[in-house]
Amino acid sequence: MTVESTAARTSRRSAGSKAGATGTKAAGTRRRTGAKKGADPELVQLLTPEGERVKNAEYDKYVAGITADELRGLYRDMVLTRRFDAEATALQRQGELGLWASLLGQEAAQIGSGRATREDDYVFPTYREHGVAWCRGVDPTNLLGMFRGVNNGGWDPNGNNFHLYTIVIGSQALHATGYAMGVAKDGADSAVVAYFGDGASSQGDVAEAFTFSAVYNAPVVFFCQNNQWAISEPTEKQMRVPLYQRAAGFGFPGVRVDGNDVLACLAVTKWALERARNGEGPTLVEAFTYRMGAHTTSDDPTRYRGDEERLAWEAKDPILRLRRHLEAANHADEGFFAELETESEALGRRVREAVRAMPDPDLFAIFENVYADGHALVDEERAQFAAYQASFADAEGV
């Protein structure tokens, strides 16, 4: 299939999805195409894997004014996020982190959607949204504390309107919905984004979040990164219809976007956020992408998937794709890439040094912040703990 014909089909199909969005035609009534993974004509795409810009009648307008500078910015975001991620993986291998959940391959989904958010929007991540955190201005070294085991969070969620990572799958979809309900009650025009995975969409909490957000018309965007796997289980073990179509049953639109296409992710998320701001309620965005690495550093993907799949997805690499586009459009020269390489090295160094310098927490942190108003039992146990610790000092003759 030529690029042109893909583009034409994409735009016709997504016109249908927009109709669903405005309520004239539910997304789920569209025919199942039976298309194979990655070749779904319903995938919104603005940049082909070769980096060619394809037209899309529905979503072009959301990136129409994008400048070369902004495109380079997206590229920079993705490169630095990948670099940060690679550094964290290396640090785990060196024993500096207990665990790491890599985002390798998902940079476009995260940077595209993250850059679509406004400062006053609020984001609820899972545990792999390092690229979104980057877009929200969270210092990446803050993300590493919980993986190093020095804290169970590590940043002030209100500092950048970026909530703490949530490990219990799907829980945060409800928090995001509730937060969005609050935004609507306040009459604000900001919006909320909830991130979760394809596996998470099987959880009751996610279904309940869909229910509440639809019933209360909450200004929330559910951004599901379908990276094809929930640890060892492929998406087919979670659901039998394309994930984005599930929104229809709850009464709001769902769209599948090429999750390796940063421009498409940016455009579709902007559209969904605009809907939220306009009081049109929730949207489900399914970013169709791929987890190129292991689920976490504890996982061994060779037990459940072969290399061919990964190789096929490597050809759709989000970073390579934008680079090709930048080069073809003469938007970036060698100098830009060289400078970025230097910046990337510096980031790696900074992260490495910051992690190694991260102090172990104070022992008494166990008892800190258990309650906002204090609690007699905690006080009692803290005192016992102090006496116990002091007994070692005594024993050592201090």
Partner 1 sequence: MAAEKMALAKAINESLRRALDNDPKVLIMGEDVGKLGGVFRVTDGLQKDFGESRVIDTPLAESGIVGTAIGLALRGYRPVVEIQFDGFVFPAYDQIVTQLAKMHARSLGKVKLPVVVRIPYGGGIGAVEHHSESPEALFAHVAGLKIVSPSNASDAYWMMQQAIQSDDPVIYFEPKRRYWDKAEVDTEAIPAPLHKAQVVREGTDLTLAAYGPMVKLCQEVAAAAAEEGKSLEVLDLRSVSPIDFDAIQASVERTRRLVVVHEAPVFFGSGAEIAARITERCFYHLEAPVLRVGGYHAPYPPARLEESYLPDLDRVLDAVDRSLAY
Our separate counts of H helices and E strands in the chain read 13, 7
Element (H, E) at 115: helix 107-116
Which listed residue (86, 231, 320, 354) binds ligand TPP by CB under 6 A? 231
Q: Residue 199 interacts with ligand TPP (CB under 6 A)?
A: yes
Q: Residue 198 interacts with ligand TPP (CB under 6 A)?
A: yes
Identify what 381 binds: partner 1, ligand TPP, none; CB under 5 to 8 Å per kind: partner 1
Cβ-based nearer residue to partner 1, 69 or 388: 388
Q: Residue 291 interacts with ligand TPP (CB under 6 A)?
A: yes
Residues that bind partner 1 (CB under 8 A): 98-99, 145-152, 167-169, 199-200, 202-205, 230-233, 237-239, 298-300, 303-304, 360-361, 363, 365-367, 370, 375, 377-378, 381, 385, 388, 391-392
Half-sphere exposure of 382 (CA within 13 A, CB side): 15
Q: Residue 168 interacts with ligand TPP (CB under 6 A)?
A: yes
Which listed residue (15, 39, 167, 383) binds ligand TPP by CB under 6 A? 167
CA 282 to chain centre: 17
Q: Residue 183 interacts with ligand TPP (CB under 6 A)?
A: no
**E strand residue ranges, the chain:** 122-124, 192-197, 220-226, 229-230, 233-234, 254-258, 283-288
Cβ-based nearer residue to partner 1, 141 or 269: 141
Q: Residue 20 interacts with ligand TPP (CB under 6 A)?
A: no
Dig out the tokens for 38 from the structure.
């990655």
Identify what 346 binds: ligand TPP, partner 1, none; CB under 5 to 8 Å per kind: none
Angstrom distance (rounded) from CA 120 to CA 86 = 30
For the chain, the distance separating the N- and C-terminal CA atoms, rounded to the nearest angstrom, is 78
Q: Active-site residues: which are they?
A: 291, 295, 304
Angstrom distance (rounded) from CA 307 to CA 298 = 19
Identify what 304 binds: partner 1, ligand TPP, none; CB under 5 to 8 Å per kind: partner 1
Q: Cβ 152 to partner 1, closest distance in Å?
A: 5
Total interface residues for ligand TPP by CB under 6 A: 15
Stretch that binds ligand TPP, among 115-123, 148-156, 223-231, 328-336 (CB under 6 A): 223-231
Task: Taking each helix axis as running N to C, give the angle between helix 262-277 and helix 68-93, from 0 to 180 degrees, rounded to the nearest 10.
Answer: 110
Q: Residue 110 interacts with ligand TPP (CB under 6 A)?
A: no
Angstrom distance (rounded) from CA 382 to CA 362 = 13
Give the three-class secondary structure for 298: coil
Q: Residue 197 interacts with ligand TPP (CB under 6 A)?
A: yes
Angstrom distance (rounded) from CA 215 to CA 193 = 17
Identify what 291 binds: partner 1, ligand TPP, none; CB under 5 to 8 Å per kind: ligand TPP
Which residues, at least 6 apart from 391, have a Cβ–Cβ distance to it below 8 Å? Answer: none
Amino acid identity, residue 222? F
Three-point CA angle 147, 153, 157, nearest 5°: 140
Q: Residue 297 interacts with ligand TPP (CB under 6 A)?
A: no
Identify what 370 binds: ligand TPP, partner 1, none; CB under 5 to 8 Å per kind: partner 1
Residue 274's CB is within 10 A of a number of other CB atoms, namely 15
Which listed residue (78, 97, 200, 247) binds ligand TPP by CB under 6 A? 200
Angstrom distance (rounded) from CA 257 to CA 255 = 6
Q: Residue 227 interacts with ligand TPP (CB under 6 A)?
A: yes
Stretch that binds ligand TPP, among 23-31, 151-159, 162-170, 326-334 (CB under 6 A): 162-170
Q: Cβ 395 to partner 1, closest distance in Å?
A: 10
Instruction: Select the residue whose beta carbon is closest to ligand TPP and give its number.
Output: 197
Q: Residue 128 interacts with ligand TPP (CB under 6 A)?
A: yes
Angstrom distance (rounded) from CA 368 to CA 275 = 41
Task: Taking each helix axis as running N to C, give the angle between helix 262-277 and helix 318-328, from 0 to 180 degrees, rounded to the nearest 10.
Answer: 100
Q: Which residues bind ligand TPP (CB under 6 A)?
A: 128, 167-169, 196-200, 227, 229-231, 291, 295
